[in-house]
C-alpha cells in the first residue's frame, strides 16, 4: 500500500463486522428497549458489566452454548432489575450490508492485505449467507473459533502474526472505542466508525488512495 500520511507504510486494513461492514445493531436495541419498556441503553449496559466474563463474552468465546447463553443473559437482566427475551435480542444483530464499506474493502485488497476481526458466536441456524462479502478478506478471525475476543490484545496479535505484519503497518476500523484502544496501544492506526463517510475519509488519508 501507499505511504500513509502519518509516515508509516500501511500494508493491511483490518475491519470489524457488525457496526462497520454491517449497520450497527444499537438502533435496533434502542427500539426493542422502547417497545418493551426497558431503560434506554439497558442492553448495552449489560454487555458492559463484567465485560470479560459476562454471558455475552462467554458466548463469543464459544465457552457456552447458545441456549446456555440465553439463560445466563436473561438472568443477568433479572439481576439488574428487568426482564428481556434473549433470543429476540440476538435476532436484532442481523444488520444490513453497507455497500460503501464493501467497496472500500475491495479497493484496499487491490493494494494490500485485508482481514476481518469479529466478535461473534455460533448461531443455532449456522449464521447468515454473506459469502460474497467474506470472500474479500485474506484473513477472518472469529472469536467463537479462536477462543479469544476483542478487546483482548491476543486477538490483534493473532491477526498480525497471520498476516505477517507489524501492528504499525495496519489500520483497524471498529465502531467501539473499547476495541480500538488496545489496538492503538500496540501501534495500530485506528478509526472509530460512527459515520461511514467520515471513517472512509480517515481511511483514505492513511492509505493514500481512493477507497470509494
Q: What HEC string does 185-207 produce?
A: HHCCEEEECCCHHHHHHHHHHHH
pLDDT tier, 105 (very low <50, low <70, confident <90, very high otherwise): very high
- What is residue 68's predicted lDDT score, i.e. its pLDDT? 97
- What is residue 132's predicted lDDT score, i.e. its pLDDT? 84
Sign of CA pseudo-dihedral 132, 143, 158, 100:
positive
pLDDT tier, 89 (very low <50, low <70, confident <90, very high otherwise): very high
Total domains in the chain come to 2
In this structure, the answer to whether residues 42 and 30 fall within a common structural domain is: yes
Q: Is the pLDDT of residue 125 over 60?
A: no
pLDDT tier, 73 (very low <50, low <70, confident <90, very high otherwise): very high
In a domain, 100, yes or no: yes
In a domain, 2, yes or no: no
In this structure, the answer to whether residues 114 and 145 fall within a common structural domain is: yes
In this structure, the answer to whether residues 125 and 53 fall within a common structural domain is: no
Cβ contact 204:27 at 8 Å: no
List beta partners, residue 172.
14, 190
In a domain, 45, yes or no: yes
- What is residue 123's predicted lDDT score, i.e. its pLDDT? 67
In this structure, the answer to whether residues 67 and 100 fall within a common structural domain is: no
DSSP, residue by residue, 67-102: HHHHHHHHHHHHHTT----HHHHHHTT---B-HHHH
Cβ contact 212:102 at 8 Å: no
**Which has the closest alpha carbon to 149: 29, 71, 58?**
58
- What is residue 3's predicted lDDT score, i.e. its pLDDT? 36
Cα–Cα dist 42/80, whole Å: 9
pLDDT tier, 131 (very low <50, low <70, confident <90, very high otherwise): confident
- What is residue 93's predicted lDDT score, i.e. its pLDDT? 87
In a domain, 3, yes or no: no
Give the residue numbers spanning the domain of 70: 26-91
Q: Can you tell me the mean pLDDT for 105-124?
A: 91
Helix/strand number for the chain, H first, E second: 11, 5
Amino acid at each position: 500500500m501507499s505511504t500513509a500520511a502519518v509516515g508509516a507504510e500501511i500494508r493491511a486494513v483490518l475491519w470489524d463486522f457488525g457496526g462497520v461492514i454491517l449497520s450497527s445493531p444499537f438502533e435496533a436495541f434502542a427500539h426493542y428497549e422502547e417497545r418493551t419498556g426497558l431503560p434506554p441503553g439497558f442492553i448495552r449496559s449489560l454487555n458492559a458489566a463484567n465485560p470479560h466474563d459476562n454471558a455475552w463474552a462467554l458466548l463469543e468465546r464459544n465457552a457456552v452454548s447458545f441456549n446456555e447463553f440465553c439463560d445466563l443473559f436473561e438472568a443477568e437482566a433479572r439481576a439488574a432489575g428487568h426482564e428481556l427475551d434473549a433470543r429476540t435480542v440476538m435476532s436484532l444483530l442481523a444488520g444490513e450490508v453497507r455497500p460503501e464499506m464493501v467497496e472500500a474493502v475491495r479497493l484496499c485488497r487491490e493494494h494490500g492485505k485485508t482481514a476481518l476481526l469479529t466478535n461473534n458466536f455460533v448461531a443455532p441456524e449456522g449464521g447468515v449467507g454473506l459469502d460474497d462479502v467474506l470472500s474479500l478478506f485474506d484473513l477472518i478471525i472469529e472469536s467463537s473459533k479462536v477462543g479469544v475476543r476483542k478487546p483482548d490484545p491476543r486477538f490483534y496479535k493473532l491477526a498480525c502474526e497471520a498476516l505477517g505484519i507489524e501492528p504499525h503497518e495496519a489500520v483497524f476500523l471498529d465502531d467501539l472505542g473499547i476495541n480500538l484502544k488496545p489496538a492503538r496501544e500496540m501501534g495500530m492506526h485506528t478509526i472509530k466508525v460512527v459515520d461511514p463517510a467520515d471513517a472512509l475519509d480517515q481511511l483514505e488519508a492513511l492509505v493514500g488512495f481512493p477507497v470509494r
